[in-house]
Structure 1
């Protein structure tokens, strides 16, 4: 695997959510806690799809900002 890419399971672990939660978010509204999930690099089934690590990192930072706002 390329070091600049993440799989669904890697992305879920990095974000600290279950794979089921991430799949539901991707399939239903395309957002997690109101933050849009980045597009995958390909249009393969979710279990075979890859996302850029940089995009996932930006998603994580956006989710942290949402949490910070709600906890202030």
Structure 2
């Protein structure tokens, strides 16, 4: 199971403009709505709805290592 630091993710994604979110979603190959929904998920939803490689790409696109934002 993947756990994430919810306040950090909410802040990082919440401070992005729609253009920035669209750019990130295109870069990592994730639908924009799925990226936005990440702000409101709990850990069990994260494990069901997101693959580890998607989360790793997201971390990198936000300028962080996977380990800085998530843990297994």
TM-score range, shorter chain: 0.3 to 0.5
Larger radius of gyration: 1
Larger strand percent: 1
TM (norm. structure 2) is 0.34
Bigger share in helix:
2
Highest RCO, 1 vs 2 (Cα 8 Å, sep ≥ 6)? 2
